[in-house]
């Protein structure tokens, strides 16, 4: 057996798995081990943050940690080796020909397995599509992650030098992008990105793509435009590397790298706002009876230990209204030009967490009783606060509720969670003068706002849905007569 083969058997490499459906990268938040530490099969060795959640990764080997390939705070592509383990530390020194494990090159003719490969957490990385140009490889030292501040230099294809003071030219001239080679494939980019590039005068063929499968993103275009702009200051100091998680201060402003949950939220909101035609309707409703029922059920033995609050009844009212109008619970399949009717309501609840906005959902919420729904809401909130919401809990939602009332806000115009048909904003409940039984009396009133995808839901259907939600909250006995 060769030294290379022996080392490959002794040293096992663990790659960054796809911890959520379709994710392409994750940031290493914390290492729980160091080189020389003993580990066992199933032991958690690090915590990573994806665009959806923070996840702990267990190691599938017994042995001693040999190398950690990336520092904390580094964003790593799925499929990249992040740690190696010496599975036979008693075998003596590492063979002289191999100071570290070397991955065996895969034969070009090797047949790729179909679909995703199973990994410890989530799914394996999806195979590259044959319809897309392969993503351009970029060598990146483990200890020096690329930061947002250096993206302009990368997109301009300029090497990042050591710290130095670079004098600005006396008469700066805009950079002229090199023309694309004849017969070169057309750059991959969505129509809004192509329009942005056209408006900024950027040739997409000259932009280095960072999106999945070589797709040019809006950030790539902005970075390329920044690289092509004239230098306005007399001198520019170019650092070799900056930690990704550290805000970069400058005169009059602070730049904070966009990544993780914030990056995913931004991309999702832009995609939703410019893909699904939004319509928002509003209704103001007297919820005095519902608020009284909330107080009564807090004392009910059957609801002991459960979270009983106005949001619980808004969720139940939404589910009852969806039962009366099941065609709302659907999604739009652009590729096949089909409307996909969902048979179960996976109710999303927008939650603000220290890492940003997330929308976990309650699976088959429409099939739950009021106590079961209260229990599910309580678990969802507790898990989100602890930062332990799993990617699976944030996938497959069909409709969402956002409770802006907790901030004292009356209402808003919520943006749809991508792939969903409707989102309901629940405003603050306030004591207001209201005509009740022919007399003006102080009543507890709130405003609801419903945004929906106009491709799926016509104005009539959306209006009926919102009116029914308000009807249940105005007279909660309709939970029985309608439910």
Provide Rg for the chain, Cα atoms.
Answer: 27
Helix (H/G/I), strand (E/B), else coil: 417: coil
Q: Are 205 and 198 in contact (CB under 8 A)?
A: no
Q: Can you tell me the distance from the alpha carbon of 468 to that of 456, in angstroms, rounded to the nearest whole number? A: 18
Classify residue 123 by its DSSP letter.
B
The yes-or-no answer on residue 454 being catalytic is yes
C-alpha 333: how far from its chain's center? Answer: 21
Phi, psi of 293 (to 5 degrees): -65, -35
Q: Are strands 422-426 and 439-453 parallel, antiparallel or unpaired?
A: antiparallel
| Cβ atoms < 10 Å from Cβ of 440 | 9
- For residues 88, 94, 99 and 105, what is the CA-based torsion angle, rounded to 10 degrees? -50
Closest CA to 262 of 51, 72, 29: 51
Q: What value, to the nearest 5°, has the Cα angle with vertex 45 and ends 41 and 47?
A: 135
Q: Can you tell me the distance from the alpha carbon of 460 to that of 424, in angstroms, rounded to the nearest whole number? A: 17
Residue 301 burial (C-beta neighbours within 10 Å; 0-12, 13-18, 19+): exposed
Catalytic residue of the set 222, 343, 436, 454: 454
Q: Are 422 and 450 in contact (CB under 8 A)?
A: yes
Q: Which residues are catalytic?
A: 454
């Amino acid at each position: 057996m060769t030294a290379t083969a022996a080392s490959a058997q002794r040293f096992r490499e663990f790659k960054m798995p796809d911890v959520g459906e379709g994710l392409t990268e994750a940031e290493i938040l914390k290492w729980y081990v160091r080189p020389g530490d003993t580990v066992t099969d199933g032991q958690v060795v690090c915590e990573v943050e994806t665009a959806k959640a923070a996840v702990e990764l267990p190691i599938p080997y017994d042995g001693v940690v040999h190398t950690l390939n990336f520092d904390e705070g580094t964003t790593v592509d799925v499929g990249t080796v992040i740690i190696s383990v010496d599975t036979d530390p008693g075998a003596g020194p590492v063979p002289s020909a191999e100071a570290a494990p070397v991955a065996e090159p895969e034969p070009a003719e090797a047949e790729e397995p179909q679909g995703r490969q199973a990994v410890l957490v989530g799914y394996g990385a999806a195979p590259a599509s044959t319809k897309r140009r392969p993503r351009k490889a970029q060598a990146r030292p483990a200890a020096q992650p690329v930061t947002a501040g250096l993206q302009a230099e990368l997109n301009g294809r300029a090497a990042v030098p050591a710290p130095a003071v670079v004098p600005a030219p006396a008469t700066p001239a805009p950079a002229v992008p090199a023309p694309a080679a004849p017969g070169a494939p057309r750059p991959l980019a969505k129509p809004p990105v192509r329009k942005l590039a056209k408006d900024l005068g950027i040739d997409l063929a000259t932009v280095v793509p960072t999106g999945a499968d070589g797709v040019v993103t809006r950030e790539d275009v902005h970075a390329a435009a920044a690289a092509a702009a004239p230098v306005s200051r007399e001198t520019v100091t170019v650092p070799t590397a900056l930690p990704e998680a550290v805000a970069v201060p400058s005169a009059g402003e602070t730049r904070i790298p966009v990544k993780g949950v914030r990056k995913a939220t931004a991309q999702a909101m832009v995609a939703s706002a410019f893909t699904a035609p939004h319509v928002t309707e509003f209704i103001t409703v007297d919820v005095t009876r519902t608020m009284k029922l909330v107080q009564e059920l807090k004392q009910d033995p059957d609801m002991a230990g459960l979270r009983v609050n106005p949001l619980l009844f808004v969720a139940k009212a939404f589910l009852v209204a969806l039962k009366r109008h099941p065609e709302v619970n659907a999604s739009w399949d652009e590729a096949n030009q089909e409307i996909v009717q969902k048979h179960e309501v996976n109710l999303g609840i927008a939650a603000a967490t220290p890492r940003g906005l997330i929308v976990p959902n309650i699976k088959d919420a429409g099939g739950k009783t009021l106590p079961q729904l209260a229990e599910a809401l309580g678990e969802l909130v507790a898990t989100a606060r602890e930062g332990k919401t799993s990617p699976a809990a944030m996938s497959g939602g069909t409709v969402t509720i956002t409770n802006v009332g907790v901030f004292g806000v009356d209402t808003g115009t919520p943006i749809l969670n991508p792939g969903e048909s409707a989102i309901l904003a629940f405003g603050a409940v306030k004591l207001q003068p209201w005509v009740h039984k022919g007399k003006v009396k102080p009543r507890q009133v709130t405003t609801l706002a419903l945004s929906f995808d106009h491709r799926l839901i016509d104005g009539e259907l959306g209006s009926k849905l919102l009116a029914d939600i308000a009807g249940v909250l105005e007279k909660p006995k309709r939970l029985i007569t309608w439910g």
